Amino acid sequence: MSLSISKNIGRIDQLIRLGISLSMIYFGFFDLSLIQDKFSATIVGIFGSMNLIVALIQYCPLYAVVGINTYCKAKTEI
């Protein structure tokens, strides 16, 4: 039995997710001046962490369910 996850997040999508994820983690866990409620800040930080993992592995389960694929394989010349 082989489990294979094909990438479905492209480079631009990945960079945008990384930026948003790092911002969410920063404002959720480190700088509480923007979000005053501790619970809400923790939820934002957790979502940022999950989005960071998705960006690093380049696979989004929600994209797979909906059928979105922004990943483009590099063309190889023979």
Average pLDDT (43-57) is: 95
The residues spanned by each domain of the chain are 11-66
What is the rounded distance in angstroms from the CA atom of residue 78 to the CA atom of residue 23?
42
Confidence tier at 3 by pLDDT (50, 70, 90):
confident
Q: Give the separation between CA 43 and CA 61, rounded to whole angstroms.
A: 20
Tens of pLDDT, residues 54-70: 999 999 989 889 988 98
CA 14 vs CA 7, 11, 54: distances in Å: 11, 5, 9
What tens digit of pLDDT does each residue of 17-34 get?
999 999 999 999 999 898
